């Protein structure tokens, strides 16, 4: 059984549904394995636990506004 794992900051249920559908579809088409065989795990982390370019994600997002 293929297993897909994604780590992200907090996401809505709608966003997670789209991610699971999208990852499964692309992996199924790419590998030629039925979509029903895939397991997808989304691991959420607080934005304060992510750093990009030496800055915490909330600060980086605030600067982009």
Place of tokens 């997002």: 61
Question: Hey, which residues does 21 pair with through a beta bridge?
Answer: none
| 34 is annotated as an active-site residue | no
Give me the catalytic one of 2, 34, 47, 58: 2
Structure tokens at 46: 């607080």
Beta-sheet pairing, 55-56 with 51-52: antiparallel
Looking at the annotation, which residues are catalytic? 2
């Amino acid at each position: 059984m293929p297993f897909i794992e994604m780590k992200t900051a907090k996401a809505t249920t709608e966003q997670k549904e789209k991610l699971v559908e999208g990852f499964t579809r692309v992996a199924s088409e790419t590998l030629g394995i039925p979509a029903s065989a895939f397991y997808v795990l989304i691991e959420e982390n607080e934005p304060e636990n992510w750093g990009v370019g030496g800055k915490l994600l909330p600060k980086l997002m605030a600067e982009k506004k």
